[in-house]
Amino acid sequence: EEPWIAARNAAVLTLLYGSGLRISEALGLTGADLASEADAVLRVTGKGGKTRLVPVLPVALRAVAEYRRLCPFHIEPKGLLFRGARGGPLNPAIVQREMA
């Protein structure tokens, strides 16, 4: 497994467990979300279009920063934060498999 993929998986799982995000919410984050380690709160839109504020633990912020550092793809502010191996959207099934 490539280092950036391991870092991506660690970042996603840390966000899921540390912030209580749903997989769809985590995979819907954009490059503008968690752009720096100062972003301790996320505004996410979940089921039914409800928006809520979610605190982000420092360990999750560090994991996302490490993923961004290693990711070979340019992450646009409006583009998806988490990428698949070829640069497209990350498939939820991959996250589910990592959790198993």
- Domains detected in the chain: 3-99 (1.10.443.10)
- Could you read off the pLDDT of 41-94 as tens digits, one per residue? 898 887 888 888 999 999 999 999 999 999 999 999 999 999 999 999 999 999
Instruction: Check if the beta carbon of residue 12 is closer than 8 Å to that of residue 84.
Output: no
Element at 52 (helix H, strand E): strand 51-55
- Could you read off the pLDDT of 4-29 as tens digits, one per residue? 999 999 999 999 998 999 999 999 99
- Is it the case that residue 36 has pLDDT exceeding 80? no
pLDDT at position 91: 97
What DSSP state is assigned to residue 48? Answer: G
